[in-house]
Amino acid sequence: MLTYVLKRVLMTIPVMVVVALFVFLLLRLAPGDPAAVIAGDYATAEDVQRIREQLGLSQPIIVQFFNWSLQLMQGDLGTSIFSNKPVTELIAQRIEPTMLLALTTILFSILVAVPLGTIAAFRAGSWVDRSVMLFSVGGFSVPVFVLGYILIYVFSLNLRILPVQGYRSPFEDGLGPFLAHITLPTVTLSVIFIALIARMTRASVIEVLEEDYIRTARAKGQSEFKVLMRHALRNAAVPIVTVVGIGIALLIGGVVVTESVYNIPGLGRLVLDAVLARDYPIIQGLILFFSFLYILLNLLIDLTYTFLDPRIRY
């Protein structure tokens, strides 16, 4: 078990190197020069060159990459070109809203989707099943921002029961304001996630229901509810956990859009602004951070399997 964990952790290193190299090259080989953005309308070519030198952008790419890697080894993600703040500080400032939004979304999605998927599986082919499936296909078909606008229009502007935008921290402002502000973004972001998990739950529960031990349990006269809870769901848990893991990447993508629509000061917005301004250190640092997070979560999920499915052993 320990060797397995260690092996998995070591395996993430080449992956991180690939990501780092890829992101670095992507940025440096593309047009768009932060020095020109900074220099503005009055700058001469010499001014731009001077700024470029000061930012360390005039060194050969190899040297730049080497310096950056060296920094990374020390846990330093660099300093934003524009705001002059360390990237780690910028991430720290904004990690709370993004992480809590992701968390509420996952919780809400599971709470809604697993029962939906289970019921659909149990009544496979019925109108309940068809409506759940239609909803879940529909969930994949509506762009997140359109949904966000509609929800704001209905709940904030017409019914006036929820705030339009912004974020309140549960630690400083209390749970009430936090929930009020996080509800609409969570629902917006959850739709696609619910669709995903409901489908997966349905598929795996249907599969499990065909297994012999379920037939046996049913034959023994156990109540349907008990069969469902004790055997079916438990065994369907592994694929569901997998899909949650895969969904993290999807979630991070959705966060970028949701944060824009609801004006949440999170990481997604930070990276988008950085791309538009060519703030290289932020883009590099954040993409690396996200992929690190993804790798870490998938590691955790792999380990969760051992608890959920005793058949998986290392």
Partner 1 sequence: MAEQSAHDTAAATPMPKGIKDPSVFQLALRNKSVFWGSILLALIVVIAAIGPFLTLDPVALNPMNRLKAPGEAGLFGTDQLGRDVFSRVVNGARVSLIVGLAVAAVAVAIGLFLGLIAGYIRVMDALIMRVMDGLMSIPAILLAIAMISLSGATLATVVIAIVIPEIPRVVRLVRSVVLTVREEPYVEAAISVGTPVPLIMSRHVLPNTIAPLIVQATYICGSAMLTEAILGFLGAGIPPEIPSWGNIMSEGRTFFQLTPWIIFFPGICLAVTVLAVNIVGDGLRDTLDPRIARNMR
Partner 2 sequence: MTQLRFGRQLMAAAIAIPLAFGAMAKEAVAETVLNVIPHADLKNLDPIWTTAYISRNHGYMIYDTLFAMDENFKPQPQMVDTWTTSDDGLTWTFVLRDGLMFHDGAPVTGEDVVASLTRWGARDGMGQQLFKNIASLEASDAKTVVMTLANPYGLVLESIGKISSNVPFIMPKRVAETDPFEQITDYTGSGPFVFQADEWVPGNTVVYTKFDGYVPRDEPPSAAAGGKVVKVDKVIWQYFPDNTTAMNALMAGEIDFFEQPAPDLAPIMAANPDITVEVNDPLGNIGFARFNHLLPPFDDADVRRAALMAMKQEDYLAAAIGDPQFWKTCYSVYPCGTPLANDAGSDVMATGDIDAAKAALAATGYDGTEVVIMQPTDIPVLSAFSLVTAEKLRNAGFAVKLEAMDWATLTSRRALRDPVGEGGWNMFHTWWIGADVIDPMAIAFSGNPDAGWFGWAEDSALEDARAAFATAGTAEEKLELATTAQDRLWSIGASGQLGQFFVPVAYRNNVEGLIKSPVQFFWNISVE
Which residues would be at the binding site for partner 1 (CB under 8 A)? 14-19, 22-23, 26-27, 30-32, 124-125, 133, 137-138, 140-146, 149, 153, 157, 196, 199-200, 203, 206-207, 209-210, 239, 242-243, 246-247, 249-250, 252-254, 256-257, 260, 271-272, 275-276, 283, 286-287, 290-292, 294-295
Distance, first Cα to last Cα, the chain:
6
What is the nearest approach in angstroms of partner 2 to the Cβ of residue 90?
6
Partner whose footprint covers residue 287, from partner 2, partner 1, none (CB < 5 to 8 Å by kind): partner 1
Partner whose footprint covers residue 54, from partner 1, partner 2, none (CB < 5 to 8 Å by kind): partner 2
Q: Rounded to 5, what percent of the chain is helix, strand, coil? A: 75, 0, 20
User: Looking at 1, 2, 44, 210, which residue binds partner 2 (CB under 8 A)?
Assistant: 44
d(CA 147, CA 228): 34
In this structure, which amino acid lies at residue 111?
Answer: L
What is the nearest approach in angstroms of partner 1 to the Cβ of residue 96?
19
d(CA 211, CA 228): 12
278 binds partner 2 (CB under 8 A): yes
Nearer to partner 2 by Cβ, of 13 and 137: the residue is 13
176 binds partner 2 (CB under 8 A): no
Residue 201: phi and psi, rounded to 5, are: -60, -45
In this structure, which amino acid lies at residue 277?
Answer: A
Q: How far is CA 59 from CA 38, 63, 65, 87, in A?
A: 18, 6, 10, 21
Residue 79: phi and psi, rounded to 5, are: -125, 135
54 binds partner 2 (CB under 8 A): yes
302 binds partner 2 (CB under 8 A): no
16 binds partner 2 (CB under 8 A): yes
72 binds partner 2 (CB under 8 A): yes
- 84 alpha carbon, distance to own chain's centre: 27
What is the nearest approach in angstroms of partner 2 to the Cβ of residue 270?
6
User: Residue 86's beta-bridge partner residues?
Assistant: 79
| Region of 89-97, 111-119, 184-192, 236-244 interacting with partner 2 (CB under 8 A) | 89-97
Nearer to partner 1 by Cβ, of 200 and 217: the residue is 200
d(CA 191, CA 146): 12
277 binds partner 2 (CB under 8 A): yes
What is the nearest approach in angstroms of partner 2 to the Cβ of residue 102?
14
Q: Is 11 exposed, middle or buried (0-12, 13-18, 19+ CB in 10 A)?
A: exposed
Count of C-beta atoms within a 10 Å radius of residue 137: 11
What is the nearest approach in angstroms of partner 2 to the Cβ of residue 95?
5
187 binds partner 2 (CB under 8 A): no
d(CA 116, CA 58): 57
Nearer to partner 2 by Cβ, of 173 and 224: the residue is 173
207 Cβ partners below 8 Å, 6+ apart? Answer: 236
What is the nearest approach in angstroms of partner 1 to the Cβ of residue 41?
22
Query: What's the CA angle centered on 194, arms 190 and 200, to 5 degrees?
Result: 150
Nearest Cα to Cα of residue 117 among 139, 147, 97: 139
45 Cβ partners below 8 Å, 6+ apart? Answer: none
Contact residues for partner 2, defined by CB under 8 A: 12, 16, 31-34, 36-38, 40-42, 44-45, 47-48, 50-51, 54, 72-75, 77, 80, 82-85, 88-96, 149, 152, 156-157, 160, 163-166, 169, 171-173, 260-263, 265, 269-270, 272-273, 276-279, 292, 296
